[in-house]
Structure 1
Amino acid sequence: MTNGNSSSDLSPNEQAALEKIDEQNIDFLRLQFTDILGTVKNVSVPAHQAEKAFTEGIYFDGSSIEGFVRIQESDMRLDPDPETFAVLPWRSNGEGASARLICDVVDRTGAPFEGGPRQVLQSVLAKADDMGYSVSIGPEPEFFLFEKDDDGNATTVAHDNGGYFDLAPKDLASDIRRDIIFTLEQMGFEIEASHHEVARGQHEINFKYDDALTTADNIATFRAVVRAVAEQNDVHATFMPKPIGEINGSGMHSHISLFDDDGNNAFADDDDEFNLSETAYKFMGGVLEHAPAFTAVTNPTVNSYKRLVPGYEAPVYIAWSDVNRSALIRVPDAAGVSARFEIRSPDPSCNPYLALAAVIAAGLDGIASDADPGDAVREDIYEFDEEKRAEYGIDTLPGSLGEAVTALENDEVVRDALGDHVSEKFAEAKRQEVAEYKTFVSAWETDRYLEKF
């Protein structure tokens, strides 16, 4: 063992993590967590502190973390989840290495901290469990690779000029994607596919679906790995939703399904036209009903709403379909254990814990309230005028972050899912972001108005 003895207080998973620390010659542990805005934070401790971290936790100052607590409530504790142990491949040097553990945040009373994003998701998943369901999510995060300038700063010059599914020489990043994939696999990911996306310098790497908590952990890890490997290749990776105007932005389409206590897909019904069960339709109805509110969380930046515009393959309309991609929800051609639907609005700048919590809570409310998603829309909604959209009863997603925050504040279901602390702190931070944006004068404005008026 790391400290030469074994504690009876350790769980089997904690004991296994300690053994891995010894076997893999780990020098330092990075205890990771996220703030309310989704930024990954960490406290680094020597590996010989691992047993203490598991049995007593590691204390830190919560008042310095965005949206956590006030100075007088600053003492907080990190409780590492041993199942999240992973060696950081880019920190290995042949003699010693670093590993990470994702942590839950505990307040000074020993209770789960209500402002911890991971705990928010766990709370929603506990409600799903009480209803007899577990939740599986398969995300498809997209990102851009950009060149750096002579000073090492990020630019918006695309690393390549490739397009959808292009090969080299147009896709110059195939080797970088390979390095990202190898690194992810070393950290336990099961990669399903990777390819160049539609826009210049844009890429997608898909990893296997998993339970919702593991998926949220994986999204946070994925973003860190992509950035680290990009740096090693002297390029900059960004998950900014719309870094360049007038081309496609980056989304994080998410495939979702529920499983019952017997391991059966609760969304599956082979006798249905779309292979979906009544449970699936009710869940879908809840997602559509609460979409305006959870959009503040799944699309959390001012820039997010420059992706959510017609014409760039991003959903704008609150509807579902099996054939067109202008709708918020798409039902793929899948049945049985694979029956699911895809929520197309989230983008990869979101806090994955809060985003998944909000979406899942919306769907669970749909089941509880027998929500009706309406009929599938098989026409291209982008071609509808306002009158036809009204005829079909199709609403639109919020057009700005400010509108989305207002919808969040007015939606009791999503607010309750996030909890009072998170929903208030999140809305406060986003209102401040909108206020700051309103004071900024863009190059578009000066180009258009400076000489005209």
Structure 2
Amino acid sequence: MTDEPAPDGGLTDEERDVLERIDREGIDFLRLQFTDILGTVKNVAVPADQAEKAFTEGIYFDGSSIEGFVRIQESDMRLKPDASTFSVLPWRDTSARLICDVINTSTGEPFEGDPRHVLKSALTRAEEMGYTVNAAPEPEFFLFEEDEEGRATTKTNDAGGYFDLAPKDLASDVRRDIIFGLEEMGFDIEASHHEVAEGQHEINFEYDDALTTADNVATFRTVVRAIAAQHDLHATFMPKPIPKINGSGMHTHISLFTDDGENAFHDGDDEFDLSEAAKQFTAGVLEHAEALAAVTNPTVNSYKRLVPGYEAPVYVAWSDRNRSALIRKPAARVPAASRIEARFPDPSCNPYLALAVLIHAGLDGIEQEMECDDPVRENIYEFDEAKREEYGITTLPANLGEAVEALEDDELVLDALGDHVAEKFLKAKQAEYDEYRVDVSDWEIDRYLEKF
């Protein structure tokens, strides 16, 4: 988060440092970045000599043109750059990026429709309960070849599998360049590897506070696409671009820390090394999972990934061992690493909204002192319906329409989004699902046109 503004309305020390760096590194343009409610990164480019004005006055833009923002009669919005997010773009070394908060010009207050503000509100709730939130995502993506006109195909550029090396993994050089670009932008990369499906990849970056993590996810997707394009490849975070193979997830690790820096999720005396707060947090996420899915898995295509048989979690349960459950407790080498892993989000989500609703749901579990069921240690994929009923295991929504209905009925998750975002998000997702329902797919044509 940004440091406090100077009392005289001038620049903060951090903002002055950014201005000095702009001058020292010869930056010509600044890209002022934010996201719409669907998670699409937007930006306004300004000459670098406007940086001081951007910090002290903000940069105005037309909010009525942004998905889910405001109506045309209330369109003037203002971008306030967060100096801590300054980073030089590795593929344009005279341009830099600043992530912005959106300000309502009529009130001077943060705009309630800004996804970054929605996440900040969740973090404020955690802070009031005595916690800070750390998170780390694992966004997966596919690399596809482009056609002669530079348009994306679904032809993968390699035939690699999980952890494969060259020559099967032909994209190792692309991943290397992506990692170099991310590191130039301040990322601490932990690992990268080829994923299970052909053309599928994963690059993991280190844990950080939840706001920085959400910023990093937005940046990550931009960097991956830009550097892949330099290799004449198209990178996509679409959850299921190819049928009948594994889709792309964004497993999200979360933990809470107390004011004194202790991991509130760790208890060395517990069988699973999890504190009561961690179990209650887990219970809260499971309790609200169906509604959360509308935000963490927000596209029609998301539910093509969330089917049994392709290592995607669809069963509302948790486990300390296997990956068939919705939430997993990963092994931790040290107490500070104790955490839970929500395995159902996918990389098409808005990272600010997804983290916000996960945090609110977990905190609700703590506030309500929810009971957490025992972990399921068997492979739930092998359960039949009767055994799932015996264990009390339900499933995530089967499609976006069901997820939207669950969201409409869940006051906690709606409140987490706020009235403005909830209304606009539901409207957009209902329209998306309605458009999908009336479409006729190639599969239907191939199956029925000559048969009937």
> If the length of structure 2 is used for normalisation, what is the TM-score?
0.97
SS at match of 1:26: coil
* 1:61-76 mapped onto 2 (5 Å cutoff): 61-76=62-77
Whole-angstrom CA distance in 2 between matches of 1:288 and 1:155: 37
Percent identity over the alignment is: 73
Matched, 1:30 2:28: no
User: What is the Cα deviation at residue 379 of structure 1?
Assistant: 0.8
**Counterpart residue number, 1:388:** 387
Matched, 1:347 2:346: yes
**Counterpart residue number, 1:3:** none
Whole-angstrom CA distance in 2 between matches of 1:372 and 1:292: 18
Can you list the C-alpha shifts for 1:271-330, whole angstroms capped at 9, x where unaligned? 111100000000000000011111000000000000000000000000000121110001
Matched, 1:20 2:21: yes
Matched, 1:107 2:108: no
1:299–1:347: 8 Å Cα contact kept in structure 2? yes
Answer with 329-338 or 31-40: which moved more: 329-338
* 1:414-453 mapped onto 2 (5 Å cutoff): 414-453=413-452
Match of 1:255 among 250, 253, 258: 253
* 1:41-80 mapped onto 2 (5 Å cutoff): 41-80=42-81
Q: Return the letter of the residue paired with 1:160.
A: D
SS at match of 2:318: strand
**Counterpart residue number, 1:4:** none
Answer with 324-333 or 203-212: which moved more: 324-333
Whole-angstrom CA distance in 1 between matches of 2:83 and 2:376: 45
* 1:359-398 mapped onto 2 (5 Å cutoff): 359-398=358-397
Whole-angstrom CA distance in 2 between matches of 1:55 and 1:235: 40
Answer with 442-451 or 27-36: which moved more: 442-451
Whole-angstrom CA distance in 2 between matches of 1:252 and 1:372: 27
Whole-angstrom CA distance in 1 between matches of 2:56 and 2:205: 33
Can you list the C-alpha shifts for 1:184-228, whole angstroms capped at 9, x where unaligned? 000000000000000000000000010000000000000000000
Whole-angstrom CA distance in 1 between matches of 2:426 and 2:157: 35
SS at match of 1:371: coil
Q: Return the letter of the residue paired with 1:257.
A: S
SS at match of 2:161: coil
Can you list the C-alpha shifts for 1:70-108, whole angstroms capped at 9, x where unaligned? 01110100000000000001012xxxx000100000001
**Counterpart residue number, 2:335:** 336
**Counterpart residue number, 2:244:** 246
SS at match of 2:313: coil
User: What is the Cα deviation at residue 341 of structure 1?
Assistant: 1.1
Matched, 1:163 2:164: no
Whole-angstrom CA distance in 2 between matches of 1:418 and 1:280: 23
Q: Which runs of 5+ in 2 are unaligned?
A: 1-7
Q: Return the letter of the residue paired with 1:105.
A: V
2:357–2:416: 8 Å Cα contact kept in structure 1? yes
Whole-angstrom CA distance in 2 between matches of 1:8 and 1:72: 29
Can you list the C-alpha shifts for 1:132-179, whole angstroms capped at 9, x where unaligned? 000000110000000111111100001100000000000000000000
SS at match of 2:192: strand
Whole-angstrom CA distance in 2 between matches of 1:111 and 1:360: 23
SS at match of 1:382: helix
Whole-angstrom CA distance in 2 between matches of 1:294 and 1:14: 37
Q: Return the letter of the residue paired with 1:104.
A: D
Q: Which runs of 5+ in 1 are unaligned?
A: 1-6
Q: Return the letter of the residue paired with 2:310.
A: Y
Q: How many residues align?
A: 443
Match of 1:237 among 235, 240, 243: 235
User: What is the Cα deviation at residue 441 of structure 1?
Assistant: 1.1
Whole-angstrom CA distance in 2 between matches of 1:291 and 1:266: 22
2:214–2:352: 8 Å Cα contact kept in structure 1? yes
**Counterpart residue number, 2:4:** none
Whole-angstrom CA distance in 2 between matches of 1:271 and 1:100: 46
User: What is the Cα deviation at residue 254 of structure 1?
Assistant: 0.7
Q: Return the letter of the residue paired with 2:389.
A: A
User: What is the Cα deviation at residue 13 of structure 1?
Assistant: 1.0
Whole-angstrom CA distance in 1 between matches of 2:346 and 2:91: 26
Q: Return the letter of the residue paired with 1:26.
A: I
Whole-angstrom CA distance in 2 between matches of 1:89 and 1:146: 22
> If the length of structure 1 is used for normalisation, what is the TM-score?
0.97
User: What is the Cα deviation at residue 451 of structure 1?
Assistant: 1.2
Answer with 192-201 or 148-157: which moved more: 148-157
Can you list the C-alpha shifts for 1:47-83, whole angstroms capped at 9, x where unaligned? 1110010000000000000110001110100000000
SS at match of 1:372: coil
Q: Following superposition, which runs of at least 4 residues in structure 1 exceed 3 angstroms of deviation? A: none
SS at match of 2:183: helix
Whole-angstrom CA distance in 2 between matches of 1:35 and 1:371: 33
Whole-angstrom CA distance in 2 between matches of 1:162 and 1:391: 39
Can you list the C-alpha shifts for 1:233-265, whole angstroms capped at 9, x where unaligned? 000000000000000000000111000000000
**Counterpart residue number, 1:212:** 210
**Counterpart residue number, 1:141:** 139
Can you list the C-alpha shifts for 1:10-56, whole angstroms capped at 9, x where unaligned? 11111111111111111000000000000000011111110010000
2:134–2:254: 8 Å Cα contact kept in structure 1? yes
Can you list the C-alpha shifts for 1:362-420, whole angstroms capped at 9, x where unaligned? 00000000112200001111111212111111110011001101111111111001000
Match of 2:275 among 274, 277, 285: 277
1:35–1:117: 8 Å Cα contact kept in structure 2? yes
Q: Return the letter of the residue paired with 2:400.
A: L
Match of 2:184 among 183, 186, 210: 186
Whole-angstrom CA distance in 1 between matches of 2:15 and 2:261: 27
Whole-angstrom CA distance in 2 between matches of 1:354 and 1:346: 11
**Counterpart residue number, 1:117:** 115
User: What is the Cα deviation at residue 438 of structure 1?
Assistant: 1.1
**Counterpart residue number, 2:224:** 226
Whole-angstrom CA distance in 1 between matches of 2:190 and 2:376: 30
User: What is the Cα deviation at residue 8 of structure 1?
Assistant: 7.1
1:274–1:333: 8 Å Cα contact kept in structure 2? no
Answer with 212-221 or 320-329: which moved more: 320-329
Whole-angstrom CA distance in 2 between matches of 1:273 and 1:188: 37
Whole-angstrom CA distance in 2 between matches of 1:153 and 1:194: 26
SS at match of 1:333: coil
